[in-house]
Structure 1
């Protein structure tokens, strides 16, 4: 039996069950074919206000529920994600253009996020603090209340559930606004899983919508924490708006991550890692390797081999063909990618592979002769593009890697892991992988970037405790002390 029925959510949002939205509805389009997969309701500010008020009312009882009850819901949700893995994978493929391997990986991570969230429910609630007075002094973690989650289109199942699951496990309610292009894998599937798992009504609301819905979510008086994943430009606007309303905001933003290939690296292995880091999911991942910094002694061989890899990768419809890359999400994204590639070539770079497209399917692209001021190097492309820049010394490699406004993920490939670790210490970034590529994700690990990639580790493991609880200081005395007045 399927978890989801497209007719059930046709033109709907999820708020107290499936319900008509006040903002109308739009088609859900398959990027590989242009076919309509269904229709989603479009939430407006009134929908957000009603959902946030209902969430706040439901959260009061949920916060006092047994940790066993909350953990049980999340454990059952994880099992349901695994049970319906094929169905969820198919939605991810058709809605986002992901290849089957990535879509399956997303389901596996989503299940693990639920299991790890279940474990959060039984974490210690706080600690005993030292005090210089005759009293018991405690720090206690309290649910924040209602958490607003805004998730993007690229890997929506993971990027929604990694906030939704821990927030719920820690006693909060959630209002989730997935991208309008991916409302099913970004939200409706999660709502269906949690409803089947026994989550009480009113604790999760899924409201696909546009900028007006996002603004309403950030400013609503019932919503105390915002968890946002998306572009740096939009994240900055969210942070400014949240700051005016004195709300905590967690930002996981863009990236232009570097792969540094040292002269002692295994070049064949490095090329394979570099291709995966740049071309997986058409480069539409925040951790995508956007810059390949390669020692000058091996740069020519690396570039030639990377271009050969790119030329050999099949591109097409991942729902019907065994391809390595699927389509970009829409024409706007494709045209942005192509403009960055062509302007970089016009600036003097050489097109070693790719640089062309058919429909929304963009060929994996390798650029050589690149300088740091060229557009495809300096900007986050969010497409399958690998600019290669040589360096002569480790100091030059550090300067290049650190010379970006972003700081999300870093890869260093070397025959000496300790050399790689020492180099990484000199480069600001939220994530480092020695002898692996830049795209990695585990529910148990803290995740987040620095600089314009975000506000640090806000997801994964113990980081979720800080993200979705408040700290309360409590003292207790046996008797009321005397005071001088």
Structure 2
């Protein structure tokens, strides 16, 4: 199917047993860079979610029973189609989500790798043999599908963060209902539905229903959804976790972060400032792993501030579709106003504005703040914008205390010329991912990904973690002769 036909395919629709008009109506696809309406996608209602779940329940047993090599072949074909349609998908990622082309290309390739990893999952061992204290008994422990998995994905890396749950969940035999954020419902949802439809995935196994909070709540609370995989804010994640706990359903929560980059006194300051700029300004800082706090030793503090401010001032901001830029637009006015308020309040509290702090429309300039105190908004809050707050420290103990003083625990980075020194510090930091002589925004498809504390409930995505995350463990015991008991 050519691009023009695919564009007609999703207009005003959701994907649920084919392309259908939902009960919830439509929502516009808005280009953040221009404010232009690019089309309409379907907006799911709780009734649409219920129909999707019922269909997924019917389709899942046959999908799970399909020979593993056939399931793997469908996932490999999805990966091939993803690459074949890269130009189209990347274009929508740029226009709908404000991504630069480089970011969109990286995201698509990372998703391609996720698909290939998922395609390899069905052929892996799915259990273990345990000894028994009962003569003649054999104990098998095996991983079985959950049934219907609900995935709720965000707008910032809409393709990768949806597919890192969808692909492995499908690989191990589940059916999936995906609710992408309506701000990225096309790139992060309906275009992926088209890929899977054309890859040969049986009808009913995957449903893609964009929608807002009511739609997501219906998915979370549906009694026939056995698991929720949610990526988003900590506040919403707490609410979802509470509901899933009450309903005794499995939940994976990948939440917010206020990630620290620690620059020790023996660091390569130029390299550290490069990591700091990339970690804070990539994709306008709209990343859960964004470097939100720069903690720098006093002996190199001024040098680091100067180098980071210089890097920030050299970055270009504009429409990524029409020019070569480093930063595109923020996703919406609410996010822009929140970021600007944090900057203004922090400057009023004594911080110094070293670069940026201005905006035109949704284009916010890369901003560097020095002399940021731990009790100010730029230090305490998750930023999710192109802002780099810098705080000074004098001792390693002080640096560790500053890092661990945040309720978040997603990612951290440490710069030092001594690997052993940095590794020793890493053992004292409460974060799910720590990168030495690098920055905080890192992802590898085969490595477990996740945070601690307010950042979520552990390393849930990537490599071996996927096998147990999207299955349940079942014990089966076997005896050749029936057991005879005293009564």
User: Is TM > 0.5 for Structure 1 vs Structure 2?
Assistant: yes
* Counterpart Cα distance in 2 of 1:417 and 1:423: 10
How far apart are 1:3 and its partner, in Å?
8.5
Work out whether residues 3 and 84 of structure 1, in 8 Å CA contact, stay in contact via their aligned partners in 2: no
Q: What residue is the counterpart of 2:9 in the other structure?
A: 8
Summarize deviations over 1:172-199 as a string: whole Å, max 9, x none.
0000000011111111111111111111
Q: What residue is the counterpart of 1:305 in the other structure?
A: 307
Summarize deviations over 1:124-151 as a string: whole Å, max 9, x none.
1100012101211100110000000000
Q: What residue is the counterpart of 2:297 in the other structure?
A: 295
Q: What residue is the counterpart of 1:95 in the other structure?
A: 96
* Counterpart Cα distance in 2 of 1:341 and 1:466: 42
Work out whether residues 6 and 38 of structure 1, in 8 Å CA contact, stay in contact via their aligned partners in 2: no
Q: How many residue pairs end up in the alignment?
A: 485
Q: What residue is the counterpart of 1:405 in the other structure?
A: 407
Q: What is the TM-score of this pair, normalised by structure 1? A: 0.99
Alignment of 1:220-369 (within 5 A): 220-369=222-371
Q: Is 1:124 the equivalent of 2:128? A: no
Q: Is 1:31 the equivalent of 2:36? A: no
How far apart are 1:403 and its partner, in Å?
1.0
* Equivalent of 1:140 in 122, 139, 142: 142
Q: Is 1:470 the equivalent of 2:472? A: yes
* Counterpart Cα distance in 1 of 2:202 and 2:403: 48
How far apart are 1:418 and its partner, in Å?
1.8
Alpha-carbon spacing, 1:3–1:433, altered in 2? closer, same or farther (3 Å): farther
Q: Give unpaired runs (5+ residues) of structure 1.
A: none
Q: What residue is the counterpart of 1:434 in the other structure?
A: 436
Summarize deviations over 1:434-483 as a string: whole Å, max 9, x none.
11100011110100000000000111111111111010000111111211
Q: Is 1:112 the equivalent of 2:113? A: yes
Summarize deviations over 1:355-374 as a string: whole Å, max 9, x none.
11000000010001111010
Alpha-carbon spacing, 1:452–1:162, altered in 2? closer, same or farther (3 Å): same
Work out whether residues 106 and 157 of structure 1, in 8 Å CA contact, stay in contact via their aligned partners in 2: yes
* Counterpart Cα distance in 1 of 2:183 and 2:225: 24
Work out whether residues 98 and 318 of structure 1, in 8 Å CA contact, stay in contact via their aligned partners in 2: yes
How far apart are 1:4 and its partner, in Å?
6.8
Q: Give unpaired runs (5+ residues) of structure 2.
A: none
> SS at 1:128's partner residue?
strand
Q: Is 1:203 the equivalent of 2:235? A: no
* Counterpart Cα distance in 1 of 2:248 and 2:296: 44
Following superposition, which runs of at least 4 residues in structure 1 exceed 3 angstroms of deviation? none
Work out whether residues 4 and 192 of structure 1, in 8 Å CA contact, stay in contact via their aligned partners in 2: no
How far apart are 1:5 and its partner, in Å?
2.5
* Counterpart Cα distance in 1 of 2:432 and 2:341: 29
* Counterpart Cα distance in 2 of 1:184 and 1:207: 10
Alpha-carbon spacing, 1:3–1:163, altered in 2? closer, same or farther (3 Å): farther
Q: What is the TM-score of this pair, normalised by structure 2? A: 0.98
* Counterpart Cα distance in 2 of 1:243 and 1:250: 11
* Counterpart Cα distance in 2 of 1:328 and 1:191: 26
* Equivalent of 2:392 in 390, 393, 402: 390
How far apart are 1:264 and its partner, in Å?
1.1
Work out whether residues 44 and 209 of structure 1, in 8 Å CA contact, stay in contact via their aligned partners in 2: yes
Alpha-carbon spacing, 1:123–1:393, altered in 2? closer, same or farther (3 Å): same
Superposition RMSD in Å:
0.9
* Equivalent of 1:479 in 473, 478, 481: 481
Work out whether residues 217 and 223 of structure 1, in 8 Å CA contact, stay in contact via their aligned partners in 2: yes
Q: What residue is the counterpart of 1:444 in the other structure?
A: 446
Alignment of 1:57-72 (within 5 A): 57-72=58-73
**Which segment is superposed worse, 215-224 or 140-149?**
215-224
Q: What residue is the counterpart of 2:82 in the other structure?
A: 81
> SS at 2:113's partner residue?
helix
